[in-house]
Amino acid sequence: MKDIQSQKDTRHVEIQKVGVRNVHIPMIIPEKNGNVQNVSAEVELNASLDSEMRGTHMSRFMEILNKYSKITLSYESLKNILSETKDALKSSSVSMNIKFRYYIEKQAPISQKKGLIDYICGFKASLDENFKTILHLEIPIITLCPCSKEISEYGAHNQRAYVKINVEYDRDDVLWFEDLTHDIEKLASGELYSILKRPDEKAVTERAYDNPKFVEDIVRDTTIYLKSAEGAINFDVECESEESIHNHNAFAYVNFGI
Amino acid sequence: MKDIQSQKDTRHVEIQKVGVRNVHIPMIIPEKNGNVQNVSAEVELNASLDSEMRGTHMSRFMEILNKYSKITLSYESLKNILSETKDALKSSSVSMNIKFRYYIEKQAPISQKKGLIDYICGFKASLDENFKTILHLEIPIITLCPCSKEISEYGAHNQRAYVKINVEYDRDDVLWFEDLTHDIEKLASGELYSILKRPDEKAVTERAYDNPKFVEDIVRDTTIYLKSAEGAINFDVECESEESIHNHNAFAYVNFGI
Amino acid sequence: MKDIQSQKDTRHVEIQKVGVRNVHIPMIIPEKNGNVQNVSAEVELNASLDSEMRGTHMSRFMEILNKYSKITLSYESLKNILSETKDALKSSSVSMNIKFRYYIEKQAPISQKKGLIDYICGFKASLDENFKTILHLEIPIITLCPCSKEISEYGAHNQRAYVKINVEYDRDDVLWFEDLTHDIEKLASGELYSILKRPDEKAVTERAYDNPKFVEDIVRDTTIYLKSAEGAINFDVECESEESIHNHNAFAYVNFGI
Amino acid sequence: MKDIQSQKDTRHVEIQKVGVRNVHIPMIIPEKNGNVQNVSAEVELNASLDSEMRGTHMSRFMEILNKYSKITLSYESLKNILSETKDALKSSSVSMNIKFRYYIEKQAPISQKKGLIDYICGFKASLDENFKTILHLEIPIITLCPCSKEISEYGAHNQRAYVKINVEYDRDDVLWFEDLTHDIEKLASGELYSILKRPDEKAVTERAYDNPKFVEDIVRDTTIYLKSAEGAINFDVECESEESIHNHNAFAYVNFGI
């Protein structure tokens, strides 16, 4: 059976990335407490293609992803996915992008009721001469507008916002979604919860009013936090606020070497 | 050239709807002020198919939609689209669904600065023995939580929310997006604006704190309004609030005969 | 602490549905083989609200959902979720809607390579005087156009399409996602796979060319199948085809008593 | 009234981007034929913020966008939007991102029936010491798999795919969406149309079978085309194919200096 993909290509165009995308597949993610969490991931996996080769072999990406959907994800397994892809496709560089919802239990501040909050989490990894891994995390928070509080006789507009970070790291045992969400939520006007009874709602409301923050404040405070976070090398941070007084969003973005 | 679609079908299954969907096409919408607005619509157009006929003729839906993308939409033109589709496809019933962003200028409450707010608007229409038209409208608003205000010493959580209505009407000159948005926004804790200077932001903040409303309050007040709105026959109304203190939404829904 | 929600309402408007939506939460789904699958679900849970009561108690929905996120979903547990919600909120009717990606292993037709296919699955359930459950399932398939095949000297346009069904059922041990996907995929022009080697790709290509089907054919054949499926009471079925020759979709829809 | 945004910030964190996003606003786009097209755009506009300043002034972004929603977009007006934003916010760099559906009339190959095809188009522009503009364009096409054609006795799987390009250019009168779509569609296995009668469908089907192309082929051919396109400086090109035989997509990406 003829292998069209392996035909020699004469167009002299190297392709930086060719592969699969929008792959929905289960993944197994280690939790900080030693357990694992079964997640439903959306994945892209790609490889470079030399200018002389007509096509890649798409089925190999899927064979590798199906294999690793049964293995707990780690710094080592990310490296292995990329390394096996690089070998299978004789590529000079490969990269992948994984996103999933990850659940963390949080307790309401007063009633101590426990409930799950969902975070969009993920990993980006690439391998050429070097291996590079980036953790991705989106944290829902409350922003309460300092300007609105200052100029109004009472009240202040507030809303749901998202802190989105990408952090390059070089060891697998330092950065945990659990720690990052815990620490970064503290930097917001307020935190979100799954279950809030009335005494909790009072506490959350008053805390937000006591901690007015612009999106600019949040990216700055998160920048300062990540600069000192053990294990973090480079990073970027964005805060996007779904303004309650507008039908558009406000955002701020800091890039620190990523 | 053989016409496979016109083959006789022997499976004895009538198809209630067959047609095109996710059609992106320009439409011309009349404004209340006498002008028209060019919108970018997403459209579904379908027809019933008798059990004896194998397939519909998909190109005819598109010929009709392309023709009407150049004609100002009205009660009459909606009827004509459906009537021509019914004839072209020899159907007993046809229906369509149109959605688009529609822009209305609003002035900030104090500075009087003018800016455009975008609303998701649309029409649903059907024709069998009867012709029926439904107007669809989604209005962004502020909800400020009455419970949070009452139990907290200061502040109150608030957020962006959307009021979504479907209103069956029987004349084309009574219901205007401009009137409906104007009237329904007044029923919320607060209104959204494109441009707000500081004195405006103070006014919007204080007005929301003075008008705490649950999603339940908003669907009830909108129900009372729509019951008395001239031209409206049946309707439903939903309010969905993107809670700032949760990573999920709260909603309420009232159906009045639709 | 004052309970604003429990205030008496005097507007005389009953609310059919009030509750939470866009709740992302893990669920445990039984597999046909006796195992369970951990899924990431998006959930709506709502209850009716009498005209005399001002507001519902949103935290109770979340307490119930958090409790049932740890319990394997079944006909009985769906009933219990609704029954507990009905009691907790003193409602006359409650309903819920659950959606998640569910993974089923499929073998390539020739190489027998195993890989996971993702299906959007779910349940809708309601409880007033009666309990009603509906299974929801979206199956990706291939449609190959019979008209294109017939009129062309060679080739035929084909594309990815989705069969979407809702089936009302009254026992929990009869309808399995595994069986429904297996049977309905056979009714399409062709099936989708995760991993296809070249001999597989040849088989899939030729099978699709041998089985040209319109969206109309697929909803009719699925209707005939579901009418005779044990455990199914009422249903609807839709096939939406992402036409390769158009930038819009074609679809057909049959409603059988749902 | 106190101006909290203008407070001195002591955290020593410069913010690269702060501004508004998800702004839906009408824009006026010049057509190649000399007319203009009213589009519904989604816009981001942002500016850098010095480390000493606490916050930006969000209303100024919206004042500028509302002003330019009434002015035909051009190389000059893009520059003016950024230049006015830079001045208004005393920033060292500003950038924007505009996306909209743009409609181009195409004639069916045999019947010559005219219909509109929708393309996702846009512009990215930035201004610091230099002004840079990038045109964005997404073109729906057909890909027919060369491998599937070669190894199968008859037929070949094909599907809808999208070619997505970003092209940096330095004059406003050279690159037209009309020319780019016209030229790049020729490089695909086949083109999409709004209205196809049967003789057209035969022509489109056979043409695709005569022109099998991988995503790799399409990004290479588009790369060669863009390298020689007058007015284009740097660019990238991606082709993403919604594989009919898989529930995931295949893609290829070439970056040429962008």
Q: Which two tokens stand for residue C168?
A: 């009302």
> Of the candidates A62, A101, A202, which has its C-beta nearest C195's C-beta?
A62
What is the Cα–Cα distance from C139 to C145, expressed in whole angstroms? 18
- Cross-strand bridge partners of residue C142: C160, C190
Interface test with A, best of C6, C40, C99 (most A CBs within 10 A): C40
What is the Cα–Cα distance from B49 to C217, expressed in whole angstroms? 12
Alpha helix positions (H), chain D:
58-68, 75-88, 146-151, 177-185, 198-210, 215-227
Mean pLDDT of the region D86-102:
98
Q: What is the CA radius of gyration of chain A?
A: 22
At C1, the pLDDT band (50, 70, 90 cuts) reads confident
Q: What's the confidence (pLDDT) of residue B95?
A: 98
**DSSP codes, A156-194:** --EEEEEEEEEEEES-SSS--HHHHHHHHHTTSSEE--S
Q: Tens digit of pLDDT for each residue in C26-74? A: 999 999 999 999 999 999 999 999 999 999 999 999 999 999 999 999 9
Amino acid identity of residue D114, one-letter, is: K
Q: Which two tokens stand for residue B221?
A: 């007040």
For residue B4, which phi and psi values (nearest 5 degrees)? -60, -40
Q: What's the confidence (pLDDT) of residue D172?
A: 60
Residue D94: how many other CB atoms lie within 10 Å: 25
Question: D16 and A151 in contact by Cβ < 8 A?
Answer: no
Residue carrying structure tokens 């009309």:
D178
C85, C94 contact by CB (below 8 A):
yes
What is the Cα–Cα distance from D58 to D46, expressed in whole angstroms? 9
Give percent above pLDDT 70 in chain A. 99
Q: Which SS3 state, helix, strand or coil, does residue B172 take?
A: coil
Residue carrying structure tokens 């990606």:
C101
In B50-113, beta strands by DSSP E? 94-107
> Of the candidates C15, C217, C249, which has its C-beta nearest B20's C-beta?
C249
B153, A206 contact by CB (below 8 A):
yes
What is the Cα–Cα distance from D120 to C30, expressed in whole angstroms? 42
Ranges of chain B whose pLDDT falls below 70: 172-173
Dmax (CA) for chain A in angstroms is 78
DSSP letter, residue C9:
P
Q: Tens digit of pLDDT for each residue in C77-111? A: 999 999 999 999 999 999 999 999 999 999 999 99
What is the Cα–Cα distance from D115 to B65, expressed in whole angstroms? 9
Q: Which two tokens stand for residue B72?
A: 């100002």
What is the Cα–Cα distance from B215 to B239, expressed in whole angstroms? 6
What is the Cα–Cα distance from A30 to B62, expressed in whole angstroms? 51
Q: What is the CA radius of gyration of chain D?
A: 22
Displacement of CA C5 from its chain's centroid (Å): 34
Enter the pTM of the model. 0.97
What is the Cα–Cα distance from D166 to A141, expressed in whole angstroms? 34
Quick one: three-class SS letters along B17-38? EEEEEEEEEEEEEECCCCCEEE
Residue D52: how many other CB atoms lie within 10 Å: 12
Q: What's the confidence (pLDDT) of residue A230?
A: 86
A111, A204 contact by CB (below 8 A):
no
Nearest CA distance, C18 vs chain B (angstrom): 4
Nearest CA distance, D211 vs chain C (angstrom): 11
Question: C103 and A26 in contact by Cβ < 8 A?
Answer: yes
Ranges of chain A whose pLDDT falls below 70: 172-173
In terms of Cα–Cα distance, which of A159, A148, A136 is closest to A241? A159
To the nearest 10 degrees (0 to 180), the angle between helices B75-88 and B58-68 is: 160
Q: What's the confidence (pLDDT) of residue B173?
A: 62
Interface test with B, best of A103, A211, A247 (most B CBs within 10 A): A247
> Of the candidates A17, A240, A250, which has its C-beta nearest D58's C-beta?
A250
Residues 6+ apart with CB under 8 A from B82: B94, B95, B96, B125, B126, B127, B131
In terms of Cα–Cα distance, which of D165, D137, C144 is closest to B4? C144
What is the Cα–Cα distance from A48 to A18, expressed in whole angstroms? 6
Is residue D197 over pLDDT 70? yes
Q: What's the confidence (pLDDT) of residue B231?
A: 86
* pLDDT, greater one: D4 or B1: D4
Displacement of CA D158 from its chain's centroid (Å): 24
Question: C155 and D205 in contact by Cβ < 8 A?
Answer: yes
Which residue of chain C has the CA closest to D140? C247
- Cross-strand bridge partners of residue C190: C142
Half-sphere exposure of C89 (CA within 13 A, CB side): 35
> Of the candidates B1, B216, B221, which has its C-beta nearest C55's C-beta?
B216
Q: What is the mean pLDDT of chain D?
A: 97
Q: Tens digit of pLDDT for each residue in D127-177? A: 999 999 999 999 999 999 999 999 999 999 999 999 999 999 987 667 999
Q: Which SS3 state, helix, strand or coil, does residue A244 take?
A: coil
Q: Tens digit of pLDDT for each residue in D6-53? A: 999 999 999 999 999 999 999 999 999 999 999 999 999 999 999 999
Nearest CA distance, A51 vs chain D (angstrom): 9
Residue carrying structure tokens 């188009």:
D121
- Measured between beta carbons, the chain B residues lying within 8 angstroms of A148 are 201-202, 205
Question: D250 and A19 in contact by Cβ < 8 A?
Answer: yes
Is residue D231 over pLDDT 90? no
B contact set with A (CB within 8 A): 117-118, 140, 142, 144-145, 147-148, 151-160, 190, 192-194, 196, 198-199, 201-202, 204-206, 208-209, 242-248
In terms of Cα–Cα distance, which of C96, C72, C98, C81 is closest to C19? C96
Q: What's the confidence (pLDDT) of residue C194?
A: 98
C222, A25 contact by CB (below 8 A):
no
Q: Which two tokens stand for residue C65?
A: 């959902």
C131, C80 contact by CB (below 8 A):
no
Q: What's the confidence (pLDDT) of residue B172?
A: 60
Q: Which two tokens stand for residue D152?
A: 């199968």
What is the Cα–Cα distance from B224 to A80, expressed in whole angstroms? 63
What stretch of H or E contains A47? Answer: strand A36-49
Residue D112: how many other CB atoms lie within 10 Å: 9
Question: C39 and A40 in contact by Cβ < 8 A?
Answer: yes
Amino acid identity of residue B217, one-letter, is: D
D76, D32 contact by CB (below 8 A):
no
Domain C15-256 matching CATH 3.10.270.10: the answer reads yes
Is residue C154 over pLDDT 90? yes
Given 3-state DSSP classes, what are the helix, strand and coil percentages for chain D, each rounded to the nearest 5? 25, 40, 30
Q: What's the confidence (pLDDT) of residue D173?
A: 62
What is the Cα–Cα distance from A76 to A80, expressed in whole angstroms? 6
Q: What's the confidence (pLDDT) of residue B1?
A: 85
What is the Cα–Cα distance from D6 to D2, expressed in whole angstroms? 9
> Of the candidates A24, A62, A114, which has its C-beta nearest C118's C-beta?
A24
Q: What's the confidence (pLDDT) of residue B174?
A: 73
With 0-12 / 13-18 / 19 or more C-beta atoms within 10 angstroms meaning exposed / middle / buried, residue D14 is middle
Q: Tens digit of pLDDT for each residue in C175-184? A: 999 999 999 9
